[in-house]
Amino acid sequence: MSNDVRPDSMERITTLELANAFIDEQVAEVRKQVGDKKVLLALSGGVDSSVVAALLIKAIGKQLICVHVNHGLMRKGESEQVIEIFQNGLDANLIYIDATDRFLSLLDGVSDPEKKRKIIGGEFIVVFDEEARKLTDVDFLAQGTIYPDILESDGVKAHHNVGGLPEDMKFELVEPIKLLYKDEVRVVGKALGLPAEMVDRQPFPGPGLGVRCLGAITRDRLEALREADAILREEFDNCGLSKKVWQYFIAVPDMKSVGVRDDKRYEGWPAIIRAVNTKDAMTATIEEIPYEVLHKITNRITTEVEGINRVLLDLTPKPTGTIEWE
C-alpha cells in the first residue's frame, strides 16, 4: 500500500481523544523519521501549516525552523498573530521575513490576475529559497499537505506550499497530516492548543489580498482593502455570521466614484462584500445578511476607512460567479 492512500480502517478524527491518539502516533513517527536532524517549514499562518508547525514543535522542538514570509498581502493582524502564537506562545524557532516591498514593487502596474498570481507564487519561492540556502544543515522539508490535495493532484502538490523549490535543494519531505481531511485537521489543531481563530479560520488564497485588490495593486488601495476586510470580519464575529458562512471577504476594484464626506465631494473606491456557502467549492450559494448588519458594516467602512465611499453587496452564486473575483 502506498503511504499516500488513506486506509479504509482509519477512523474519522472527530473527538479530542482520537486527535490526541493521532498526535501521539505522529510525534513518534516524526521523531523516528527525523532523528536529531533539522526540519524547515514555510509557515503561512493558514490552518494546515499552523497545525503541522504545532505538531512538529511538540515532536522535535527547536529542530524545526519555521519561516514566515509576509508578502504584504496578508489580512490585518495575521503576521502579528503568527509571531504571537508560535514565537511567543510555543517558543518556536521562527524566522520572520517582511518582504512587503519586494512583492509590491514586482506587482507595480500589473493588472492581469494570472500574472499577479504567478508573480506572488514565484517570488514566495525565491524568498523562501534564499532563506533555505542560508541554513546549511537542514535535511527535511515539512509541508501542510492534506488528503484532498493528494486526491486532487495524484500526490503532487505544487501550488499551495513550497512545491517549487529548485531541483538542487534535496530535502526529504515530512508530511504528518497528509491523510487527514480539513475537518480533522481543525480537530487536531484544537487538541494541540492552537486558538480557535487560527484553527477555524476561513480559506484564504495563497496570493492573499493580492487577488482581492482588483487590477493593478497600489499601497493605498491595498491598505483600504485590509481595513475594510477587518471591519467585515469583526462585524460577522459580533453577529454570529462567522460561524455560519464558509467564506466572506471584501474586494476593492480599481475604480472611483463621487461621494460626500464632511459636506465635501470626494472620490473614493467601492468596497464589495462577498459572503458564500459551499460544501466543496465547486458550487456556492449566497448567504443572506440581515439589513441591520449590512447598514452597520456600511456605516463603519465608509466612516473609518480612508478612500472608500461606497459599499456594495455581491449577490452572484457560483456558477455563474467564481468565489474569488480574480
CATH number at residue 136: 3.40.50.620
Domain of residue 76: give its range: 16-199
CA distances from 154 to 9, 149, 169, 185 (A): 21, 8, 22, 20
Q: Is the pLDDT of residue 169 over 90?
A: no
- Last residue of one domain, picked from the residues 138, 170, 199: 199
User: 59 in a domain, yes or no?
Assistant: yes
- The reply to whether 252 and 191 lie within a common domain is no
Neighbours of 129 (CB within 10 A): 14
- Helix residue ranges, H only, 100-163: 100-107, 113-134, 147-153
User: 101 in a domain, yes or no?
Assistant: yes
C-alpha grid cell, residue 137: 544543515
Q: How many domains does the chain have?
A: 2
Rounded to the nearest integer, the mean pLDDT of the chain is 91
- The reply to whether 153 and 277 lie within a common domain is no
- Last residue of one domain, picked from the residues 176, 199, 222: 199
User: 322 in a domain, yes or no?
Assistant: no
User: 40 in a domain, yes or no?
Assistant: yes
Q: Residue range 12-32: average pLDDT?
A: 97
- The reply to whether 143 and 249 lie within a common domain is no
Q: pLDDT tier at 206 (50, 70, 90 boundaries)?
A: confident
- The reply to whether 178 and 255 lie within a common domain is no
- The reply to whether 62 and 166 lie within a common domain is yes
Lowest mean pLDDT among 88-92, 164-168, 249-253: 164-168
Per-residue model confidence as pLDDT tens digits over 93-147: 999 999 999 999 999 999 999 999 999 999 999 999 999 899 888 999 999 999 8
- The reply to whether 97 and 184 lie within a common domain is yes
Please check whether residue 229 is in contact with residue 268, taking contact to mean a CB–CB distance below 8 angstroms. Answer: no
Please check whether residue 297 is in contact with residue 235, taking contact to mean a CB–CB distance below 8 angstroms. Answer: yes
User: What pLDDT does 158 receive?
Assistant: 43
Contacts of 152 (CB under 8 A, 6+ apart): none
User: 29 in a domain, yes or no?
Assistant: yes
Please check whether residue 99 is in contact with residue 123, taking contact to mean a CB–CB distance below 8 angstroms. Answer: yes
User: What pLDDT does 150 receive?
Assistant: 83
Q: Residue range 69-97: average pLDDT?
A: 95
b/e per residue 70-94 (b: at least 16 CB within 10 A):
bbbbbbbebbebbbebbbeebebbb
User: What pLDDT does 162 receive?
Assistant: 46
